[in-house]
Amino acid sequence: MLAERLAKDWESQAGRTDDVMRFTDAGLVLGAGTVLAPAGASPRDVSVDPRDPRLAVLLAAAHLGAPTPTQLAHLAKAADSRRAREDALAAMHLALSGLSRLARPGADAHRLFLTDGLLRAGVDPGVVLAAILPVAKYDPDQPRVPAGSGRASGQWTAGRGADAEESKPNRGPSRARGGRPARAASPSREMSSPSPRASIAQQSPPPPSGEVNPATVAPAADARFVPGSPYRGDDACLVALRQCIAHAVEDDPWRNGAANDNSRLTAMRIQDCIRTEDRCVDTSLTVQHSRRRMLGVAHFTDGGLVIMETGEEDLYFPARPRGKYPPMRRRS
């Protein structure tokens, strides 16, 4: 009965999916109108509790991997910013969470929709999570590249952790086979997941080194990114976004000693960065899906460039360094 009802409900939703996480009058919404965090008295009254098991299970269903505490903290910050009417900052935190876009909108939205239906019907979140994560071939014992190894830490490795030489390259396997490429910042590649049966509320693994502490003012670049040098990886658009936002903050006249607070301009510049990253991902997908040999270029508003070639990982050329002010770095 439940399955039939969900199938019927899905059919009525078909065609109305959104692959980008947004704040709407109903709250924080993703996919086929699935509400991740409901709005309260007003549309802006949205709270995200990073320890909410329902939220973690929904996100795990959407991205086929459990969200990290840092990613959830970004969503909480996004909701806080939304309540404070800081919409650009809210959008920035959604983007930096790495959870805001569905990699395969149709399938991911459907899975998210069904999971929401199961939870509403009273199915235990732990049971749903245990059912989801094997689909992602989650193996908590599979070794990862450790931090400080000179490679992107937290990624799966085929060998013995620190000693392994054969870490998987930072690209989606589907791209190498000519299929749909992994999206930038695909959460399934960034997540460090605990046991599916562990209490989600008690998860506290150290965040992967590529993540940004949401409590800091400005985002830091990916751990593998060396300021001033090109960066190659499927997440080049995301790295470019982070650098673009950092440059927007660094260029802020108020920060640089001007008398007036020009935060509105900075917010608009951050919005430009976010919009460019959206289209950067679209350009990358267009290039990777092309039957012809293609070159794609996404020109970020801070001067950074992301270059895409069919069958190759994306390549980011950062913008010129910003004046006398040091680049924004993550606080430890």
Partner 1 sequence: MRAPYLAAFCIAAFLATDSKSATMPDDYAFPPWQAAADETAVADAKPFADCDETLAAYAARSSGAVSGRTYTRSPQWGWVLRAKLAFSDRRGPYSFLVTCWTGAPSDPTRVGLATQLESDNW
Task: Give, to the nearest 10 degrees, the angle between helix 2-13 and helix 105-120.
Answer: 140
Interface region with partner 1, contact rule CB under 8 A, candidates 30-38, 73-81, 96-104, 315-323: 315-323
Taking a C-beta distance cutoff of 8 angstroms, is the pair 60, 191 a contact?
no
The amino acid that residue 278 corresponds to is: D
Tokens of 117: 């239906």
CA dihedral 82, 88, 89, 95 (to 10 degrees): 100
Q: Judged by CB, which is closer to partner 1: 134, or 303?
A: 303
Residue 26 as a binder of partner 1 (CB under 8 A): the answer is no
Find tokens 């895409």 and name the residue: 308
Q: Which is nearer to partner 1, 9 or 19 (CB)?
A: 19
Nearer to partner 1, 209 or 301 (CB): 301
- Residue 229: left (phi > 0), alpha (psi -120 to 50), or beta? beta
Binding status of residue 229 toward partner 1 by CB under 8 A: yes
Residues 124-143, interacting with partner 1 (CB under 8 A): none
Q: Please, which of residues 67-126 interact with partner 1 by CB under 8 A? A: 87-88
CB nearer partner 1, residue 198 or residue 294: 294
Closest CA to 111 of 214, 10, 243: 10
**Contacts of partner 1 in 199-228 (CB under 8 A):** 226, 228
* CA angle at 156 for the pair 57 and 63, rounded to the nearest 5°: 25
Q: Binding to partner 1 (CB under 8 A): which residues in 280-299?
A: 280, 282-283, 285-287, 289-290, 292-299
Tell me how far the alpha carbon of residue 54 is from its chain's centroid: 19
Residues interacting with partner 1, by CB under 8 A? Answer: 22-23, 87-88, 226, 228-230, 265, 268-269, 271-272, 275-276, 278-280, 282-283, 285-287, 289-290, 292-299, 301-302, 305, 307, 315, 317-318
